[in-house]
Structure 1
Amino acid sequence: MSSDVFSTNYEFSESSDPFQFQFQQVEEDLAAGQRWSTWLDVERGSRGPEPRPDWVVTAQAAIDTELGILKTGKEADVFLVERAVEAIGADPAKSSLLAAKRYRTEEHRSFHRSTSYVEGRRTRNSRDSRAMAKKTEHGRSVASGQWAYAEWNALCRLWTAGVPVPYPVQIDGTELLMEFIDDGQGGAAPRLAQTRPKGDLLASYFEQVRHGMRELARAGLAHGDLSPYNVLAQGNRIVMIDLPQVVDVVGNPQGMEFLMRDCRNMAAWFTSRGLEIDDQELFADLLVQVF
């Protein structure tokens, strides 16, 4: 993001005629790492589901400031962004921290398992399908965008259903803005794998994970890559993340296998922490929700 981005605003200056006003154009330069909010630049369907949390900043005058990188991944990088607007008239200042997940184009990704995840999905545009098959520049762009929109659609659907996932704020091309899950002290919440919960907290974490997996199953879906590394622990609350590869349990020929692997991964971790979980029982419970 360059520093020469600017916004054109207009100030009113009173002339000798009290009923006439003169327009004065004002250019406001932004610092490096800043941009004007794109909230109103994207289509309505590219903004988060309602009712929206109170912390979501929707003012067009807001500025996004990039604060650093949170995570580098196989298919995308996640950055910390502050979206803030100054006080205007009676409207108070407002700001929130967002996680900006930016998907790489295919040639810059090291995620080689994508084919098995997308079995059963369809690309509506035949031109896009041909371009993806030929791996043209347009095809690589489409493939990258598909992963972003797959995660966007999953987050919107699951957040609305009450699944513990980050609130999806907006999507713009290959950039997905979502709720930043913090640790209550200004940093990022730890992954479940980094925690050592015991007793009631451990049991509560499992019940929340099982609830999330059940809600996914009711929607006919499996996370597809669920593990203690794709679950965040925010105090007493857990949040599932990294959902671009959500799998249609019935439509994908390997759907059952993905669902079983999710069960095996989570059961093994909780069992290793002292809470005995039978992966087969968990799998059977989820199948009831699917069918």
Structure 2
Amino acid sequence: MPDQFSLTPLDQHWVVIDDDVRLSNYWDLEPLCRGPEPRPDWVVTDRAAVDEELGVLKTGKEADVFLLERAGADGATVMAAKRYRGEDHRDFQRSSAYAEGRRVRSSRDTRAMAKKTAYGRAVAAGQWANAEWESLKRLWLIGVPVPYPVQIDGTEILMELVLDPDTGDPAPRLARQRPTPALLASWFEQLREAMLVMASQQIAHGDLSPYNVLAAGERLVVIDLPQVVDLVANPAASEFLMRDCHNVCTWFAARGLEVSEDDLFGEVLAAAW
């Protein structure tokens, strides 16, 4: 594993065999730290399963994603392991604005994060990991196309690795695609529907753009969800929602689809109430 980011130490549930291999800790975790039921068939739950790190998939502003294979008697699967960095090694410039309306568990944690102590940085990293974990579970259960969340342990989330059905490789970002007019229209409807479903739960992605959406063939999958915005409690919610609509419509309009960010904003806002 690269050490240039000084990743926050993870939960000691792990039993490490060597630098890249460890025993699965799926059943050692609390039930709420495991993915929702019903589990997809590809999830490996063998108590003797072994996890092997295969390499880096991508690096990001606040976290890095690794490829991890879990193999056991009931099969093997490759997942995405997203690991959040400590506050001193991340670049999430508007994190406090996204978090408006969220509760921090104790005044000690609030003070530590404000002072940027080592403990405070660890709390902050865990807070963002937990926020994404809860968002993934919630959105999966209500039918929003997101990766299935397998487990969370400390600042690491294991989740479904979304693949391109034609190549078997990790699905590319929407931003890189040049679809046909028919596929372009289908993709817009998928994103529109995802935004409407989220709004019906009074939440918005908060950082939605073609870079936070994967194109898995004809299907889109929404990713990067630590900053999900509460449309009721966050005073800047309408600004985040409008930006989501702008980012989505700008990309689709640039490729020839007639869309209106104002119309989308009005429709999504109406769905929230």
Provide TM-score, normalisation by structure 1.
0.86
Displacement over 3 Å in runs of 4+: 28-32
Deviations along 1:14-61, one digit per CA (max 9) or x if unpaired, are: xxxxxxxxxxxxxx9945411100101211100000011010011111
Deviating more after overlay: 123-132 vs 49-58? 123-132
Structure 1: tracts of 5 or more residues without a match: 2-27, 87-92
Q: 1:50 is aligned with what amino acid?
A: E
Deviations along 1:235-270, one digit per CA (max 9) or x if unpaired, are: 110000000000111211110000000001101111
Aligned equivalents of 1:183 and 1:31: distance in 2?
Answer: 31
Deviations along 1:83-141, one digit per CA (max 9) or x if unpaired, are: 1114xxxxxx4011100000000011122211111111110222212211222111110
Q: 2:21 is aligned with what amino acid?
A: Q
Counterpart position of 2:218 = 236
Aligned equivalents of 1:210 and 1:84: distance in 2?
Answer: 37
Correspondent of 1:98 among 79, 90, 111: 79
Confirm whether residue 119 of structure 1 aligns to residue 100 of structure 2.
Answer: yes
Partner-residue secondary structure (3-state), 2:26: coil
What is the aligned residue count? Answer: 259
- RMSD value, Cα: 1.4
Counterpart position of 2:147 = 166
Deviating more after overlay: 170-179 vs 103-112? 103-112
Correspondent of 1:108 among 62, 65, 89: 89
Counterpart position of 2:238 = 256
Q: 1:81 is aligned with what amino acid?
A: L
Counterpart position of 1:85 = 72
Q: 1:140 is aligned with what amino acid?
A: R
Counterpart position of 2:268 = 286
- Report percent identity of matched pairs: 61
Aligned equivalents of 2:91 and 2:183: distance in 1?
Answer: 36
Counterpart position of 1:18 = none
Aligned equivalents of 1:240 and 1:200: distance in 2?
Answer: 20
Partner-residue secondary structure (3-state), 1:100: strand
CA shift, 1:196, in A, is 0.6
Aligned equivalents of 2:58 and 2:113: distance in 1?
Answer: 27
Contact 1:198–1:273 at 8 Å: present in 2 too?
no
Correspondent of 2:20 among 10, 14, 33: 33
Partner-residue secondary structure (3-state), 1:35: strand
Aligned equivalents of 2:16 and 2:245: distance in 1?
Answer: 51
CA shift, 1:227, in A, is 0.3
Deviations along 1:115-169, one digit per CA (max 9) or x if unpaired, are: 1111111102222122112221111100000000000000000000000100000
Counterpart position of 2:116 = 135
Aligned equivalents of 2:120 and 2:28: distance in 1?
Answer: 24
The higher radius of gyration belongs to: 1
Contact 1:118–1:245 at 8 Å: present in 2 too?
yes
Q: 2:33 is aligned with what amino acid?
A: S
Counterpart position of 1:42 = 29
Contact 1:79–1:100 at 8 Å: present in 2 too?
yes
Counterpart position of 1:218 = 200
Q: 2:225 is aligned with what amino acid?
A: L
Counterpart position of 1:207 = 189
Partner-residue secondary structure (3-state), 1:171: strand
Provide TM-score, normalisation by structure 2.
0.92
Structure 2: tracts of 5 or more residues without a match: 2-14
Aligned equivalents of 1:204 and 1:224: distance in 2?
Answer: 22
Aligned equivalents of 2:16 and 2:228: distance in 1?
Answer: 41
